[in-house]
């Protein structure tokens, strides 16, 4: 009987505690993520954290608020004794410190220094303002609120507007380990795409029959038009909504990242500058592409920059040009038969012979960089040869229409 009475008393205490939490927590918090709130018997300073459902979306170079609010009965303890901590989830069991605040003392860590600060919109606001968003900022963040006795945490997912693109180097397909795929994406102005980003790209029409590394170490590929060489006609997508009619995202699972080799699926976002096509008086070899762009205050565009210009700046050009990795490509927004088919996309001519004078070049000019040749003028030799003039004296260059 004594045990029964004790159990009833304990049950009543927990019921009362949870009743207070449900009354004080906003309705949205009850419908959101599952939370573990630590309640100590006899204390009234419970911490309840509420974060945004779903995700927040930004783009490279933008400013975003990661929303987080907390409810705290501060009768026994002031808000100055509350510690606010933001971390980024880099692995299911690994976190990177982003920002910590305890009263008036604030500190940002690593690449977040100078970019992260609290919004500070009154008591109970733990929202983090993140400026000059980078590609590496994509991911999940945890907002943790702690007082002397209790703590609670909420999760915010930061997504980026951008484009997923498949990539393999000049050496051919299926040549990249996981680490090499990471470097390849970085060299082309991108990062390895996440499984969620690849799935979104598949839903947007991406169809690619070669498997590639993703950020989590898995190997997958998107198929919109099912066919035998691409997993067959009856396979289902890993996300559960593929099938005979719609294809799906084929999934090889997690592979040995130091020994097995595949292509890469990269992701890039908004361009701070501009990509443009440069057509010299005559086509240039790959070695002349850098000089051609430099004459316009620019550099040869990377593959990710061309994809971003196509997707986000609607660059449409039915002319192939050199890119920084030695490939030749061109972006099509409005499909037409003579420009490679009936679907929009970035067409690839692979990696042509770099010594042949085959193309113009796609250039990238960073924001604020001056155009030394306004009005469509470039530099070359009046006697001919354009930027492919070899060892001719640069002092003899004269303006030439490009």
Residue by residue, DSSP assigns 217-269 as SEEEEEESS-BGGGTBSS---TTS--BTTTBEEEEEEE--TTT--BEEEEEEE
Q: What pLDDT score does 245 carry?
A: 57
Within 147-211, strands assigned E span 151-160, 162-167, 191-192
- % of residues, the chain, pLDDT over 70: 76
Helices and strands in the chain: count of H runs, count of E runs = 6, 25
Mean pLDDT of the 123-139 span: 95
Q: What is the mean pLDDT of the chain?
A: 81
Does residue 218 have a pLDDT over 90? yes
- Alpha-helical (H) ranges within 144-256 are 178-187, 195-203
Instruction: Count Cβ atoms below 10 Å from residue 343 Cβ, excluding itself.
Output: 11
User: Average pLDDT in the 29-35 region?
Assistant: 34
Residue with more model confidence, 220 or 281: 220
pLDDT of residue 280: 83
Between 177 and 398, where is the model more confident?
A: 177
Given the DSSP bridges, would you call strands 83-91 and 94-102 parallel, antiparallel or unpaired?
antiparallel
Residue 39's pLDDT band (cuts 50, 70, 90): very low
Which pTM does this prediction carry? 0.77
pLDDT of residue 281: 84
More confident call, 303 vs 371: 303
Where b means 16+ CB within 10 Å and e means fewer, 358-392 reads bbbbbbbbeeeeeeebeeeebbbbeeebbbbbeee
Highest mean pLDDT (candidates 20-29, 193-202, 236-245): 193-202
Per residue in 50-107, pLDDT (tens digit) is 887 778 999 999 999 999 999 876 555 555 678 999 999 988 788 999 999 998 899 9
Q: For residue 147, which of 85, 98, 216, 197 has the smallest C-alpha distance?
A: 85
Q: Which residue has the higher pLDDT, 210 or 241?
A: 210
Complete DSSP assignment for 306-348 = HHHHHHHS-----S-EE-TTS-EEEEESS--GGGTSSS-EEEE
CB 193 within 8 Å of CB 267: yes
Phi, psi of 181 (to 5 degrees): -65, -40
């Amino acid at each position: 009987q004594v045990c029964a009475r004790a159990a009833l008393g304990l049950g009543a205490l927990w019921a009362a505690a949870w009743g207070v939490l449900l009354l004080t927590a906003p309705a949205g918090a009850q419908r959101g993520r599952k939370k573990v709130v630590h309640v100590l018997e006899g204390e009234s300073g419970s911490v309840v954290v509420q974060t945004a459902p779903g995700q927040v979306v930004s783009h490279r170079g933008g400013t975003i608020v990661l929303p987080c609010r907390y409810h705290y009965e501060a009768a026994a303890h002031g808000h100055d004794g509350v510690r606010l901590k933001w971390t980024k989830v880099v692995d299911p069991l690994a976190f990177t410190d982003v920002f910590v605040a305890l009263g008036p003392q604030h500190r940002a860590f690593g690449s977040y220094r100078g970019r992260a600060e609290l919004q500070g919109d009154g008591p109970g606001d733990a929202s983090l303002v993140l400026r000059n968003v980078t590609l590496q900022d994509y991911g999940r963040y945890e907002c943790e609120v702690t007082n002397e006795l209790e703590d609670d945490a909420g999760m915010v997912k930061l997504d980026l507007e951008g484009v997923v693109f498949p990539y393999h180097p000049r050496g051919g397909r299926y040549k990249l380990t996981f680490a090499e795929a990471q470097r390849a994406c970085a060299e082309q102005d991108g990062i390895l795409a996440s499984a969620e980003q690849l799935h979104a790209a598949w839903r947007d029409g991406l169809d690619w029959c070669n498997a590639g590394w993703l950020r989590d170490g898995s190997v997958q590929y998107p198929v919109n038009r099912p066919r035998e060489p691409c997993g067959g006609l009856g396979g289902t997508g890993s996300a559960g909504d593929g099938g005979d009619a719609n294809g799906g995202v084929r999934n090889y699972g997690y592979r040995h990242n130091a020994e097995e080799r595949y292509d890469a699926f990269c992701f890039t976002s908004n361009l701070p500058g501009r990509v443009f096509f440069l057509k010299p008086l005559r086509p240039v070899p790959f070695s002349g592409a850098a000089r051609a762009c430099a004459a316009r205050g620019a550099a040869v565009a990377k593959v990710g920059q061309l994809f971003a210009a196509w997707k986000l700046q609607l660059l449409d050009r039915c002319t192939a040009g050199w890119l920084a990795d030695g490939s030749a490509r061109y972006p099509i927004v409005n499909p037409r038969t003579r420009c490679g088919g009936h679907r929009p996309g970035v067409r690839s001519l692979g990696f042509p012979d770099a010594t042949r004078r085959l193309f113009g070049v796609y250039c990238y000019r960073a924001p604020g960089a001056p155009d030394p040749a306004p009005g469509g003028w470039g530099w070359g030799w009046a006697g001919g040869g354009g930027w492919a003039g070899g060892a001719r004296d640069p002092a003899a260059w004269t303006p030439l229409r490009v």
